């Protein structure tokens, strides 16, 4: 009975930490970014439920799975192995592969905000804050900082990535609801579509376990993100 209780407690802690990091309530500002979606809406490329679903599914598989989620998978393992040089190399890769100034600023701001979140937690965030501070990433990027927070829990790499991918999906769906706009029912169908796609995207991300397998090449997203910088009317920061 004692063994079963200990196992259950460990599993619960890992699940709860994953849910915590995926929550829109995490004060890192993810809700304020659309990652180019608002510009796609302005350009008429995403204008209803079907076209937004196509855009976000493509972004999940062509962007997130090949770039940020792949970095998170490697960084999470590196944090747990205390391989600071590897963590720094991954952070540099993120900084040098952002395809617009808005996307780079988003990654930097969210990374810094997660560091501030860890500090504000006091004793509950000591391990995350110490690890990020000692690594001296200057600045920490979101994928690497999020992996650091996830690494302190008991979740597997796959479980942590599924949670972080769901957090991304929820932010994107909320952006679509506000910017298209879409109704809440449509938003829930969009989220259901992304939920169905996330496991495969996470598996692809984990499989890209070397530097030459990751990539940051989404030309249309890069163009739209650059256009968003001077878009006349906008709700979001990217």
The CATH code of the domain that includes 172 is 1.10.4190.10
Token duo for residue 11: 């599993």
Does the pLDDT value for residue 1 go beyond 50? no
Average pLDDT across the chain, whole number: 93
Domain extent for 72: 32-228
Does any domain span residue 84?
A: yes
Of 39, 37, 83, 84, whose CA–CA distance to 190 is shortest? 37
Total structural domains within the chain: 1
pLDDT in tens, 178-202: 999 999 999 999 999 999 999 999 9
Does any domain span residue 11?
A: no
Does any domain span residue 21?
A: no
Percent composition of the chain: helix, strand, coil (DSSP 3-state, to 5)? 75, 0, 25
Reported as a pLDDT band with limits 50, 70 and 90, residue 57 is very high
Angle among Cα 144, 146, 149 to the nearest 5 degrees reads 115
115, 128, 202 from 196: Cα distances, Å: 31, 31, 11
pLDDT of residue 35: 95
Tokens 């004060």: give the residue. Answer: 27
pLDDT in tens, 77-94: 999 999 999 999 999 999
Q: What share of the chain has pLDDT > 90, as a percent? A: 88
pLDDT of residue 39: 96
Of 32, 28, 29, whose CA–CA distance to 125 is shortest? 28
pLDDT of residue 168: 97
Does the pLDDT value for residue 51 go beyond 60? yes
pLDDT of residue 25: 86
Does any domain span residue 196?
A: yes
Does any domain span residue 5?
A: no
pLDDT in tens, 25-38: 899 999 999 999 99
Does any domain span residue 187?
A: yes
């Amino acid at each position: 009975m004692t063994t079963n209780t200990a196992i259950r407690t460990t599993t619960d802690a890992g699940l709860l930490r994953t849910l915590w990091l995926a929550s829109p309530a995490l004060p890192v500002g993810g809700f304020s970014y659309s990652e180019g979606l608002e510009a796609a809406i302005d350009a008429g490329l995403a204008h209803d439920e079907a076209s937004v679903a196509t855009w976000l599914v493509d972004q999940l598989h062509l962007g997130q799975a090949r770039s940020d989620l792949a970095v998170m998978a490697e960084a999470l393992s590196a944090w747990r192995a205390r391989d600071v040089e590897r963590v720094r190399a991954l952070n540099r890769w993120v900084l040098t592969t952002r395809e617009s100034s808005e996307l780079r600023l988003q990654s930097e701001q969210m990374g810094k905000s997660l560091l501030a979140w860890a500090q504000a937690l006091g004793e509950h965030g000591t391990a995350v804050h110490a690890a990020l501070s000692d690594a001296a990433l200057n600045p920490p990027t979101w994928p690497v900082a999020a992996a650091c927070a996830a690494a302190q829990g008991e979740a597997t790499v796959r479980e942590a990535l599924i949670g972080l991918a769901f957090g991304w999906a929820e932010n994107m769906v909320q952006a679509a609801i506000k910017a298209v706009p879409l109704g809440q029912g449509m938003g829930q169908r969009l989220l259901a579509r992304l939920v169905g796609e996330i496991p495969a995207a996470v598996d692809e991300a984990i499989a890209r376990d070397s530097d030459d397998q990751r990539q940051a090449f989404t030309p249309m997203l890069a163009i739209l993100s650059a256009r968003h910088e001077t878009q006349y009317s906008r709700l979001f920061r990217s």
